[in-house]
Amino acid sequence: MGESVDFLKSLDEAMGLSEVDLREYSPLVLAYIGDAIYELIIRTVLVKKSHGTVQQLHRRASALVKASAQAELIEKIQPFLTEEEQRVYKRGRNAKSYTKAKNATMIDYRKATGMEALAGYLYLKKDTDRLLELIRMGLKKEQEPG
C-alpha cells in the first residue's frame, strides 16, 4: 500500500492556492463545493463497495444525493453537530437561492442546501475526518450504500 496523501494540501500546492478565511464565503458558495464533495464521497463508496454497471451505480448514487436523501441525512446528524457546524448548516438552509427545487419540496431543498454548505465548509476547512464521520453517521442503517 502507498503512503497516505493529503489531497487538499497537494491540491493547494499544485494549483498555487492560498488559505482563505471561510467566513468570506457565502453559504451558497459553500453549498456549491459541498454538493460536489458529497457526490464524490458517495460515488467513491459505491464504486469501492459495489459491483455493477455504470447505470446501476448512477441510480444508487442519485438516490443518495437527491435533496430528500440529504434532508434525511442532516436530520439524523443534526443532534451531533457542534455549535459552529449548526451555524454553518443554518446559514446554508436559510440562504436565498435563485434556483428552485427539482423533484423535491422546498423544505427538503433548503435542508439539503444547508447540508451541502456544511460539507463544503468542512472540506475547505480541511476537516475531512469530521466530514466523513458525519456522512458515515447519516448513512448508517437503511441508507448505507453497498
Chain centroid to Cα 61, Å, comes to 13
Calculated CA dihedral for residues 20, 22, 26, 27, nearest 10 degrees: 140
The verdict on whether 6 is a catalytic residue reads: no
Q: Select which of 12, 21, 35, 127 is catalytic.
A: 35
* 42 within 8 A of 127, measured Cβ to Cβ: no
For residue 102, the one-letter residue type is: K
CA angle 35/134/117 to nearest 5° reads 30
Which residues form the catalytic set?
Answer: 35
